[in-house]
Amino acid sequence: MKYARLTKEQFEELHKEFINFLATQTITAKEWDDIKVNKPEVAEQELDVFSDLVWEGVLNKVVYIEHISPQQIHLFHLQEEIMHLIAIKIKNPIDLTTTDGFNWLRENLMDEDVEFSQAKKEYSEDKNADKFKLIQQGGVITKGELFQYLDKLIN
């Protein structure tokens, strides 16, 4: 498996897509029930292949990822050839993961306790694996509003 197996909840959400996936392999519902009981290792492989297909589709479309921790925010714009990062670091004990902390940041963006930095990095030979790693480390896929706002502000 290249990425990670979908959760039970994700499989339930994608139930129809999984049925279509099995159908493309000419596996009927009855055959699937039989595979789950009599060939659990084959069932596991099918779940893994489907999970990787779903992840590949999602990662191909991802353009922005945000990672917010108590003292830092990392905003990624995943462009075609490079990742553009805007990082914010807070030098005081405010927790940016709380509503109060985030509101403090919005009101004090130009405070001396707020540091901005930027970086650009080329992808490895596997762009989607790079994106997936950011998600595994706590990044969340977004529409990029915060990145775009800060990009205009600091550039």
Render 76-101 in DSSP notation, one character per residue: EEE-SSEEEEEEEEESSS--TTSHHH
Average pLDDT score over residue span 98-125: 93
Average pLDDT score over residue span 19-38: 93
Is 89 in contact with 72 (CB distance < 8 Å)?
yes
Three-state secondary structure call for residue 145: helix
Enumerate the domain spans of the chain.
Answer: 8-61, 64-154
pLDDT at 92: 87
pLDDT at 18: 94
DSSP 71: S
Which helix (H) or strand (E) covers residue 73, if one does? strand 72-78
pLDDT at 155: 83
DSSP 109: T
Three-state secondary structure call for residue 124: coil
Is 90 in contact with 105 (CB distance < 8 Å)?
yes
pTM (2 d.p.): 0.87
pLDDT at 154: 85
113 phi and psi, to 5 degrees? -85, 0
Classify residue 51 by burial, with Cβ atoms within 10 Å: 0-12, 13-18, 19+: buried
Average pLDDT score over residue span 30-40: 94
39 has a pLDDT exceeding 90: yes
What is the residue whose two structure tokens read 């509101």? 103
Residue 66 and residue 50: Cα distance in Å, rounded? 26
